[in-house]
């Protein structure tokens, strides 16, 4: 039987797995209420301009239709931008659905049909007739970059390029080996399994229970309360199960606004759900152009790094990512200059997509580093090891831990890197060209403020409560393991209640901080439980725990005992019973240590090794082997942790070779807004992926020693694939994704 000594590190299957695999876990658009109404949005078919006229008469006359909303009859809402800005909003004017006749991007919602059935709402929406006055679209990042600008307001101070150090220009000019290259990355679109949907259940007293597809129930709660001027206690937002998100669900989407608006206006329960096509008009990883200028001396030491990035944003907001700062901290270099700008486009505001900024920045950085290694004549892995850095040069801070050297060492050994030949095109497997590539990955390991309640019952059962979300990452499971570990139970004795705005405060689930933050809050709550139990026990007559400190205690077999002598203790049932209590509760709170942050900073690290095989005549590429070595502090659950990395690696494959939003720049419209034409890795594209977690102790990154795994799995993968393709063919590809047509053009002559 598991005990408190070995729950950490045990590959416990997901406790929510049976519900999900049997189809009994209810998602946001699967709740029902008698008499519920259904909404279907109607979308603009131009990328820029204005609505001249909108005729809804036929839609309103369609059987079953209750009401059609447009900018002409939308109910009043809050007027200030601040009221519309959610917890993770970016600078600018947030989209206000049906605000006016202005069209800002293709797919902008311009009407909402509410009907007695989904089918009636959908069919009636097709009857809406709109006349537009179209303006010229601006959607090509390679054209719009000419008008790029420095954002006047930073999204976060940490996203600002760090100050230059040394003389990057002079060192670059003086260096014997240098690379000056431009890397272009097309926009990528989120495609989680669960479509965005919101079900608003209206109570007889007007109380709203909102089931929303979101990464933060409290963020959605505050958003609708601010917009519609609702009392916080009259609204509850629930997101118990989320079918994938990875950034797409951080900011509230327009279906939430529509569902709440219609429910308040019509005083009925309402559901609004999007289609797969509509998902392409939402959060997306922005198209980016990056210029890398890197230089090294004859021994392979970096002499200069210059990194300039231009990213696409919308007309109405300045979305920003931390793209370039990674180039100042990934390797040792005393001469660095970083810059970042935006380019306005007639597209929707981009948004966070797994490892935002880092996945993009490392795509260019690690490609350029590989190119420079070849220029110097060094093995690409040896070059990276040569430039290993032990502190954060950007901010002159010490690292709480860094086992990247172990990632290089163990990953290379498992991959068989020593058998690699340096010359591009020199490795073959029958008719296939074989290439081996590598890359480094880094992601920030942050801690966000979080709270949790832990309740222990006399029979040893535990309830954990927090507003935290589980977007498929395993939050339910690891919180159960943490509570069980700290209170001497098995995980099956723990009930985890999360995804509810009425629960203790947490941030949105993003940035890989949930495990470290909510997990540490649960541990703090468990400590409060122990303190209360000890206080109660010491009030009992002839208590064997008199004089004991909480650090001396453990819970075993439902008894509070001395850790070093479990014969000395009391049954929890007796402690609670003697005080007339049916349970004991602890409220845990954690927050970043501001004093520590002045001296220390935390990151997760990775080393990725990739093998590609490319048909020498047809150019068909296959990624046949990947080893991802990860340094991320303590691993609570190797099974869920491995799944996180596997998912990140597969998304990295899509970034490298398949995913791109195809826009007709003449009209500004997305052409491949479906999963038939927007290509993502399928089962046949994913072969051997091995995940290694190297040993890494870190007592500063978080109270429980974990760093987070959601993002690090994707960082560097795209570059490692590109570097492997170069090694196989001898051709460098700098425009992503690297599709088969590009590979065919770069095949060596026969």
Strands 302-313 and 288-296: antiparallel
Q: If we measure between CA atoms, which residue out of 354, 357, 352, 331 comes closest to residue 161?
A: 357
The answer, yes or no, to whether the previous bond of 737 is cis (omega within 30 of 0) is: yes
Q: If we measure between CA atoms, which residue out of 626, 628, 610, 606 comes closest to residue 696?
A: 606
Q: If we measure between CA atoms, which residue out of 371, 404, 378, 337 comes closest to residue 696?
A: 404
Pair 690, 627: CB distance under 8 Å:
yes
Look up residue 2 and give its two tokens: 């598991």
Alpha helices, H only, 507-637:
514-537, 572-578, 594-597
Residues 6 or more apart whose Cβ sits within 8 Å of residue 673: 107, 276, 277, 280, 281
Q: Which helix (H) or strand (E) holds 650?
A: helix 638-657
Pair 722, 448: CB distance under 8 Å:
no
Degrees, nearest 5: CA angle 355-358-364: 135
C-alpha span between 575 and 694 (Å, rounded): 43
Residues 6 or more apart whose Cβ sits within 8 Å of residue 413: none
Which residue among the candidates 169, 182, 711, 745 is catalytic per the annotation? 711
Distance between the two ends of the chain, CA-based, in angstroms? 63
720 torsion bin: left (phi>0), alpha (psi -120 to 50), beta (else)? alpha
C-alpha span between 538 and 205 (Å, rounded): 47
Which 3-state string (H, E, C) describes 656-709?
Answer: HHCCCCCEECCCCEECCCCCCCCCCCCHHHCCEEEEEECCCCCCCCCCCCECCC
Number of Cβ atoms within 10 Å of the Cβ of 270: 27
Known catalytic membership, residue 186: no
Residues with catalytic roles: 711
């Amino acid at each position: 039987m598991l005990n408190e000594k070995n729950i950490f590190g045990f590959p416990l299957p997901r406790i929510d797995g049976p519900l999900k695999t049997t189809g009994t876990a209810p998602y946001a658009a699967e709740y029902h209420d008698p008499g519920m109404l259904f909404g279907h949005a109607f979308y603009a078919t131009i990328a820029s301009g204005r609505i001249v006229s909108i005729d809804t008469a036929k839609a309103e006359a369609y059987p079953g239709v209750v009401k059609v909303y447009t900018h002409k009859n939308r109910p009043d809402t809050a007027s200030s931008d601040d009221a519309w800005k959610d917890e993770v909003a970016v600078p600018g004017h947030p989209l206000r659905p049906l605000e006016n006749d202005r069209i800002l991007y293709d797919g902008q919602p311009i009407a909402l049909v509410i009907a007695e059935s989904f089918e009636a709402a959908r069919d009636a929406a097709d009857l809406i007739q709109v006349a537009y006055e179209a303006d010229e679209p601006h959607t090509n990042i390679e054209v719009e970059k000419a008008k790029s600008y420095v954002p006047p307001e930073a999204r976060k101070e940490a996203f600002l390029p760090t100050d230059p150090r040394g003389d990057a220009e002079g060192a670059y000019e003086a260096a014997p080996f240098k690379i000056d290259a431009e890397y272009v990355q097309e926009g990528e679109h989120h495609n989680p399994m669960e479509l965005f949907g919101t079900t608003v259940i209206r109570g007889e007293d007007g109380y709203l229970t909102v089931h929303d597809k979101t990464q933060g129930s409290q963020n959605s709660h505050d958003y609708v309360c601010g917009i519609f001027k609702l009392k916080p206690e009259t609204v509850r937002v629930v997101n118990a199960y989320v079918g994938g998100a990875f950034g797409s669900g951080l900011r509230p989407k327009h279906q939430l606004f529509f569902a709440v608006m219609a429910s308040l206006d019509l005083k009925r329960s309402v559901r609004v759900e999007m289609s797969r096509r509509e998902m392409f008009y939402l959060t997306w990883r922005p198209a980016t152009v990056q210029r890398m200028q890197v230089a090294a001396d004859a021994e392979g030491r970096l002499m200069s790094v210059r990194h300039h990035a231009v990213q696409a944003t919308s007309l109405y907001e300045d979305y920003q990512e931390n793209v370039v700062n990674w180039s100042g901290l990934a390797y040792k270099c005393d001469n660095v200059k970083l810059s970042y700008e935006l380019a306005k486009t007639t597209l929707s505001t981009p948004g966070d997509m797994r490892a935002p900024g880092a996945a993009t920045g490392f795509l260019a950085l690690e490609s350029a580093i590989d190119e420079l290694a070849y220029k110097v004549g060094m093995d690409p892995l040896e070059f990276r090891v040569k430039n290993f850095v032990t502190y954060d040069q950007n901010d002159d801070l010490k690292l709480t831990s860094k086992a990247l050297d172990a990632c290089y060492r163990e990953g290379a050994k498992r991959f068989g890197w020593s058998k690699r030949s340096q010359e591009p095109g020199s490795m073959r497997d029958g008719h296939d060209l074989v290439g081996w590539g590598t890359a480094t990955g880094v992601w920030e390991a942050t801690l966000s403020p979080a709270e949790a309640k832990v309740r222990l019952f006399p029979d040893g059962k535990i309830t954990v409560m927090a507003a935290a979300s589980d977007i498929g990452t395993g939050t339910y499971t690891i919180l159960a393991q943490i509570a069980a570990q700290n209170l001497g139970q098995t995980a099956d004795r723990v009930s985890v209640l999360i995804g509810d705005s009425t629960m203790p405060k947490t941030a949105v689930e993003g940035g890989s901080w949930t495990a470290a933050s909510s997990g540490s809050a649960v541990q703090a709550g468990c400590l409060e439980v122990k303190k209360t139990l000890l206080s109660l026990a010491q009030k009992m007559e002839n208590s064997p725990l008199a004089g004991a400190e909480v650090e001396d205690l453990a819970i075993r077999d439902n008894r509070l005992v001395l850790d070093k002598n479990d014969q000395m203790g009391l049954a929890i049932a007796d402690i609670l019973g003697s005080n007339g209590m049916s349970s004991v509760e602890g409220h845990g709170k954690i927050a970043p240590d501001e004093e520590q942050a002045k001296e220390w900073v935390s990151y997760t690290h990775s080393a990725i090794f990739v093998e590609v095989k490319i048909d020498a005549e047809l150019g068909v590429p296959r990624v046949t082997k990947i080893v991802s070595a990860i340094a991320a502090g303590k691993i609570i659950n190797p099974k869920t942790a491995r799944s996180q990395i596997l998912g990140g690696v597969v998304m990295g494959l899509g970034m490298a070779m398949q995913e791109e939003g195809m826009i007709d720049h003449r009209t500004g419209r997305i052409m491949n807004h479906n999963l038939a034409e927007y290509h993502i890795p399928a089962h046949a594209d994913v072969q051997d992926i091995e995940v290694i977690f190297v040993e890494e102790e870190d007592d500063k990154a978080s109270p429980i020693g974990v760093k987070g795994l959601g993002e690090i799995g994707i960082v560097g993968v795209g570059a490692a694939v590109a570097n492997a393709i170069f090694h196989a063919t001898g051709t460098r590809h700098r425009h992503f994704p690297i599709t088969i047509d590009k590979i065919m053009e770069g095949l060596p002559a026969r």
